[in-house]
Structure 1
Amino acid sequence: MNESTEIINEILQSLGIDTAYRTDALTLLEKGESRYLRDLKLNLTSTLTSEHLNTKECALIGLATAINNNNSLLIQFFNRYAEEQGATPADTAEAAGCASLLASNNVFYRFRHFTQKEKYGQIPARIRMQLMMKPVTGKEFFELMSLAISAVNGCEMCVNAHEDSLIKLGATEERIFDAVRITSLVTATGKIVF
């Protein structure tokens, strides 16, 4: 067994996936004995902890990102990890709700931002957002998940609005940065394992 296969097996085992599992992307990395596999393994591991987020928060951001990206294997992994870190069913449901709500908001507000038409800014959005009003995970953390998902979905207006809200709520820039770092790495992992 070569080093690439060993690393892939370690990645799959850490995710709770049978080591025989392969995607086309994993096969390409394995056959090419890509050095990227080491990076992938370390990057995935670094999504699980943070100096600025607790492990439950890391898990919930990972879960919201996996749901946003429609990645079943990572949804299962981050849901298990969130539960192991003390997340309740209400917490994990909120991560799912956040991913769905932000999917609609990011499309809608990106449209408003792209068109730059004053008229579209005057028409009511008519998107229900009660989930944002009193989140079970707390206002600051819900904003953090919202920012992370908005970054993945590329909504500049939403990223700026959530970042501004977070600063006003007392979040540090390091905390914000780490949430986006985690969501970017979960997204990258999902390009290889899905």
Structure 2
Amino acid sequence: MGVDGIRAGLPGYARDIALNLGSTVENSLLTPAQSWGTALACAVAARNPVVLREIAAEAAGHLTPEAVDAAKGAATIMAMTNVYYRSKHMLGDEAYRTIPARLRMQIVARPGVAKVDFELWCLAVSAVNGCEVCLESHEKKLRAAGVGADQVNEALRIASVVYATAVAYDAESALA
């Protein structure tokens, strides 16, 4: 099925999402590895089985096995850190900002892919998960590494479309 099948399976009310899915993932300013890694990481974060399965299958043709693992690793590490840092931020008490996380995050230091790619995937997943603190942190790291605003924007576009695709599939599944 792949991305074309996902697009074809979207209901009429999600026509814009279907069109955007093709144009963002397949015609991105990012490298194919960055684009497909972003899509895969966001599909993991969005949690819809059909969207995840089909994006993973197609992404495997554009990513090394190490990159597939790194994209999935970006989604899972961000699942933990987005909850943790977003919660500390939302509490609004400075006392929490000085308390160390004491959470293992070794994959961030050694993701198995280019650090820029991993940071892009973490940024995109942080957008899906709505963590302002992590979005800002990853965006600063990317910009310091020479990644332009257009590339950051591409990752955000992919994140938004993959998430919207999962929402539509979830809605149709729940209503079936």
TM-score, normalised via structure 1 length: 0.79
Query: What count of residue pairs does the alignment treat as equivalent?
Result: 170
Deviation at 1:116, TM superposition (A): 2.1
8 Å Cα contact 1:47-1:186 kept in structure 2: no
Distance 1:69 1:37 in 2: 16
Q: Could you tell me which amino acid in structure 1 is paired with residue 49 of structure 2?
A: S
The verdict on how the C-alpha distance between 1:193 and 1:131 changes in structure 2, with shifts beyond 3 A counting, is same
Change in Cα spacing, 1:13 to 1:54, as seen in structure 2 (3 Å) is closer
Aligned pair partner of 2:61 in 84, 88, 98: 84
From the two aligned structures, give the one with the greater helix fraction. Answer: 2
Query: Which runs of structure 2 are paired with 1:107-126 in the superposition (5 Å)?
Result: 107-126=83-102
Answering whether residue 25 of structure 2 is matched by residue 48 of structure 1, we say yes
Residues 106-158 of structure 1: CA deviation (Å, up to 9, x unaligned): 11111111112222112210111110102222111111111111111111111
Look at both structures and tell me which one has the larger radius of gyration over its CA atoms: 1
Task: Please say if 1:15 is aligned against 2:5.
Answer: yes
| Secondary structure, counterpart of 2:60 in structure 1 | helix
Structure 1 pair 12/193, CA: closer, same or farther in 2 (3 Å)?
farther
What do the CA deviations read for 1:23-45 (whole angstroms, capped 9, x no partner)? xxx6xx5xxxx4x4432321121
Deviation (angstroms), 1:49: 2.5
Aligned residue identity for 1:89: P
1:44-85: per-residue Cα shift (whole Å, max 9, x none)?
Answer: 212322442122321111111111111111111111221222
Alignment of 1:2-81 (within 5 A): 14-15=4-5, 29=11, 34=12, 36-81=13-58
More relative contact order, 1 or 2 (CA 8 Å, 6+ apart)? 2
Q: Is the 8 A contact 2:2 2:58 kept in 1?
A: no
**Secondary structure in structure 2 of the residue aligned to 1:77:** helix
Give unmatched runs, 5+ long, in structure 2: 171-176
Work out the CA distance in 1 between the residues paired with 2:6 and 2:133. 37
- For 1:145, the aligned partner's letter is W
Amino acid aligned to 1:53: L
